[in-house]
Chains A and B, each alone.
Chain A
Amino acid sequence: MSETAALELVALNKRYGDTVALDSLSFSLSRGEIFGFVGPNGAGKTTTMRITIGVLAADSGSVLWDGRPIAFADRRRIGYMPEERGLYPTWGVLEQLVYLARLHGVDTAQARADAMRWLARMDLEDRATVQLQKLSQGNQQRVELIAALLHAPNVLILDEPFAGLDPVAVDTMSAVLREQAAAGVAVLFSSHQLEIVESLCDRVGIVRHGRMVASGTVAELRRSAGRRYWIDIPGAAQDWTATLPGATVLRREGSRWLVSLNDGVSEESLLEHALQAGAVHEFAPDAPRLSELFRHVISEDAAA
């Protein structure tokens, strides 16, 4: 990487008693990049984020900021939205936004002006003086996002920001994250909604049992899954691929077969073989969805 990573996590280890939460987990995050953090529940995503933000200490490993160990002052430049949401339920919306921004070192007038601008953006300007708990769940989540953004952070760390949002709110959240990244903010978020991760992220990391089992751009992850083809041959024999070494049937749906090829086998030889098996109605390369890759990586890891 030519540019220094804004945030770099190096070989983080964390145990809770006998449970290993993080097992030498490493990855880095560049300015302007959106990094999607996926993995099953309990994989260590939240632990990683809490260590990065500094509310939890790692057993070993380090968090680097611009190439040096992160300091308390650097952490104030992070915008954080924890998994378990929470602001002050009985405080007014604007009141607590200004207070939280001030704790991050923003002066009152600036915090107030920025909070009103963000509330307007989220269609919440008329709720500025309302108690937070009187807002709907989705609107509370919008306020929490504003709280994470108000001190103009360099890094955004959002734990499940899309959970529980309606489609309109998902669009708003996505747009804000894209904007922030375009402005040079490094964005890290976790999600179980893999379609969102796929469409939004520059890079994706898949964690399992505290280890980063795969990471890269969505395209890279897809390539790593191998070359796969959907072939529709009505009336083909059950074992038509058996005579082609290096070809494996991943799945069969009626007369459609999903076949993966090893490196030594060419696309042409597969097509040739298919034509011999019967009339080929369809022959199409398959780009696996992230969700499929996810299941694939997770199960592969389990088998290993």
Chain B
Amino acid sequence: MNRRERSGSTIALIARREAARRIRGKVFVIGTAVTVGLVAIYVILQLTVLNNVSPSTSSFDIGVTAEAQPLAASLVQAGTAEGDTFHIHAVSDVAAAQLEVVQNTLDALISGTPSAPVVTVKTALNGDISSALTTAVKVEALDTQLQRAGVPSGPVLHAINAANFTTEALRPLDTASLQAVVVGIALALLLFVFLSMYASVIAQGVVAEKASRVVEILLATVRPAELLLGKVLGIGAAAILQFAIVVAFALAVTLPTHVLTIPGTAIGVVIAGVAWFVLGYLVYALLLAATASLVSRVEEVNSAVVPVTLLLVLAWLLAYVVFIPEITSITSGMPIPAGLSTFATIVSLIPFFSPTLMTIRMASGIVPAWQVALAYALTAGFIVVAASLTERIYANSVLRFGARVRIRDALRRA
């Protein structure tokens, strides 16, 4: 076996061991359970509470007392004109009907006289019911006056109910884009959470080997670069597997329940998000392995990696700067201010921030292809440079026990 082949099998052996230990470990099992749980809670919330706040089906159950009964026909008619369906339930026991309102079996209870009715609702009156009822009350009042004046009310009422207008939106809400951006934000958040989680796994793994001194035994038979690469790839395989499980679960529960109707673009966003996760993982794993190898004790690792974790937090905070204007732009139809747009373009091309920012910007569909290509190229180039620097830092510092190794000493050529 030549040196390259042997090196490859050594890296594979180390990577398999690292991956196997992570997949059996607590972070993987608990992390997957918690993330999957959060996705499930989100879907349940979407299906219950959020749907009630803004219902997609405009169908209402209305309780009407005998006294208010004359309003019922006008209400149904007014509703039909607006595209709503009103189911009228005759009410004899007001207290029982109020209970039904509280229990959501009735959307509203109408009592009192037709000219001054009382509407009883649970929390607030739905806009559709309100507008239909307003029309019904006014029609009813007009009908009463016409009858009193001896004018046949039929043609007048018919004309009132038939009168309508159509809306012409100059900048209609693009729900498909909005959904793609929501998918992008969710992916970027997931990316941030996973990178943070596995960042600490990498850092702890490097320092644990140093703290237990097992690294000296390992490096008696394995090159530092092989150990480093095996560790980064092995933990990365576990990270990507977990990321894929969570994304697959999210898609599996959101698609059939129609919480999310993924258009073609959103599938592309998911694929791009996974690609950015792989690149983002490599960027941060290398930086963390390098900084963590400078210290010798597990207690020191968190302070050692602060510069890198700050970059990661910044990568998430900057995501707000990008996605809030984009959401606003889609919902309002107004273009993103030029300064903000330039800023977003620049920061999303920086390799530390590209994984989260490009996932979101690609989701919105307004990022030019050359920027995406440039971001991929810059990040890949950065990974190559970071890998060679990390290898040097790691090799120079992983066997220096005791005080924290200064970065300048660690960068010195051996």
Binding site for B on A (CB under 8 A): 50, 53-57, 72, 75-76, 78, 80, 82, 84-89, 99-100, 102-105, 147
Neighbouring A residues of B3 by C-beta, 8 Å: 72
Shortest Cβ distance from residue A97 to the other chain B in the assembled complex, whole angstroms: 11
Given contacts A75-B221, A76-B221, A103-B221, contact A87 B216 (CB under 8 A): no
CB-based A-B contact count at 8 angstroms: 54
B401 to A103, Cβ gap below 8 A?
Answer: no
Q: Is the CB of B220 within 8 A of A89?
A: no
By a CB distance below 8 angstroms, the chain A residues around B6 are 105
Residues in A with CB closer than 8 Å to B366 are none
User: Does B222 have its Cβ within 8 Å of any Cβ on chain A?
Assistant: yes
How far apart are A80's CB and chain B's nearest CB, in angstroms?
5
A52 — nearest CB in chain B belongs to which residue?
Answer: B220
Docked-complex contact B212 and A104, CB < 8 angstroms: no
Contacts of A82 in B (CB 8 A): 213, 216-217
In the complex, the answer to whether A103 meets B399 with C-beta atoms within 8 Å is: no
Which of A55, A88, A103, A105 gathers most chain B CB within 10 Å?
A103
Q: Which residue of B lies closest to A84 (CB)?
A: B213
Q: Is the CB of B13 within 8 A of A102?
A: yes
Q: Is B414 an interface residue (CB 8 A)?
A: yes
Contact partners of A85 in chain B: CB under 8 A: 213
Q: Is the CB of A87 within 8 A of B217?
A: yes
Contacts of A103 in B (CB 8 A): 10, 13-14, 218, 221-222
Contact B17 A55 (CB under 8 A): no
Interface string of B194-223 (1 = CB under 8 A from A): 000000000000000100111111111111
Q: What would be 29 A-B contacts, judged by CB atoms less than 8 Å apart?
A: A50-B216, A54-B219, A55-B216, A55-B219, A55-B399, A56-B399, A57-B414, A72-B223, A75-B220, A76-B221, A78-B220, A80-B220, A82-B217, A84-B216, A84-B401, A86-B213, A86-B214, A87-B214, A87-B217, A88-B209, A89-B212, A100-B217, A100-B221, A103-B10, A103-B13, A103-B14, A103-B218, A103-B222, A105-B6
B401 neighbours in A (Cβ, 8 Å):
84
CB of A14 to closest CB in B, whole Å: 13
- Which chain B residue lies CB-closest to A159? B216
Q: Which 10 A-B pairs have the closest CB atoms?
A: A86-B213, A86-B212, A86-B214, A82-B216, A84-B213, A80-B220, A53-B220, A55-B219, A76-B221, A104-B221
Apart from A86-B213, A103-B222, what 8 extra A-B contacts exist at CB < 8 Å?
A: A54-B219, A55-B399, A72-B3, A86-B215, A99-B17, A100-B218, A103-B10, A103-B218
For the complex, would chain A's binding face be called helix, strand, loop or mixed by DSSP majority?
loop
CB distance from B380 to the nearest CB of A (A): 30
Complex Cα distance, B219 from A54, in Å, reads 8
Scan residues 6-45 of chain B and give those whose CB is less than 8 A from a CB of chain A. 6, 10, 13-14, 17
Which of A72, A87, A102 is close to B212, meaning CB atoms less than 8 Å apart?
Answer: A87
A53 contacts across to B, CB distance below 8 A? 220
* Cα A72 to Cα B222 with chains together (Å): 9
Q: Which residue of B lies closest to A79 (CB)?
A: B220
Bound: A88/B222 CA distance, A: 16
Q: How far is B14's CA from A100's CA once the two chains are assembled, in angstroms?
A: 10
Residues from chain B with a CB closer than 8 A to the CB of A76 are: 221
Question: Closest residue to A88 on the B side, CB-wise?
Answer: B214
User: Considering the chains assembled together, what is the distance between the CA atoms of A99 and B227 in angstroms?
Assistant: 13
Residues of chain B lying within 8 A (CB to CB) of residue A72: 3, 223
By size class, the interface of chain B is 20 to 34
A216 to B124, CA, bound (A): 99
| B residues less than 8 Å from A99 (CB atoms) | 17
Binary contact track B207-248/A, C-beta < 8 Å → 1, others 0: 001001111111111110000000000000000000000000
The smallest beta-carbon distance between A182 and chain B, in angstroms, is 24
Chain A residues with CB under 8 Å of B215's CB are 86
**Could you tell me the distance in whole angstroms from the C-beta of A186 to the nearest C-beta in chain B?**
16
Please give the distance in Å from B209's CB to the nearest CB on chain A: 8
Chain B residues, Cβ within 8 Å of A75 = 220-221
CB distance from B216 to the nearest CB of A (A): 4
Max chain A C-beta neighbours (<10 A), residue from B10, B17, B219, B220: B220
Q: A residues within 8 A CB of B13?
A: 102-103
> A88 contacts which chain B residues (CB < 8 A)?
209, 212, 214
Residues on A with C-beta less than 8 A from B10 are: 103
CA distance A104 to B6 in the complex (A): 11
Q: Which residue of B lies closest to A71 (CB)?
A: B3
A56 to B221, CA, bound (A): 13
Give CA–CA (A50, B214) in the complex, Å: 14
**A54→B214 contact, CB < 8 A:** no
Residue pair B220, A54 in contact (C-beta under 8 Å)? yes
Shortest distance between the CB of B22 and any CB in chain A (Å):
13
Q: Specify the chain A residue showing the minimal Cβ separation from B216.
A: A82
Question: Residue on B with the closest CB to A76?
Answer: B221
Task: Enumerate chain B residues within 8 angstroms of A86, measured Cβ to Cβ.
Answer: 212-217
Q: Which residue of B lies closest to A82 (CB)?
A: B216
In the complex, what residue of chain B is closest to A99 when comparing beta carbons? Answer: B17
Given A102-B13, A103-B10, A103-B13, do A80 and B217 touch, yes or no (CB 8 Å)?
A: yes
Q: How far is the CA of A20 from the CA of B213 in the complex (A)?
A: 24
Contacts of A80 in B (CB 8 A): 216-217, 220
User: Which residues of chain A are near B212, meaning CB under 8 Å?
Assistant: 86-89
A72 to B214, CA, bound (A): 19
- Bound: A75/B222 CA distance, A: 10
Residue of B with least CB distance to A80: B220
Distance in angstroms between the alpha carbons of A82 and B219 in the assembled complex? 11
Residues of B within 8 A of A55 (CB): 216, 219-220, 399
Q: A109: shortest Cβ distance to chain B, in Å?
A: 15
**Which residue of chain B has the shortest Cβ distance to A144 in the bound complex?**
B217
Q: Name the A residues within 8 Å of B216 (CB-CB).
A: 50, 55, 80, 82, 84, 86
Give Cα A54 to B6, complex, Å.
Answer: 18
Within 8 Å CB of B219, what residues of A? Answer: 54-55
Q: Once bound together, how far apart are the Cα atoms of A190 and B46, in whole Å?
A: 69
Residue with the highest number of chain A CB atoms closer than 10 Å, among B209, B212, B221, B401: B221
- Distance between Cα atoms of A89 and B211 in the complex (Å): 10
Residues on the B chain within 8 Å of A57, using CB: 414
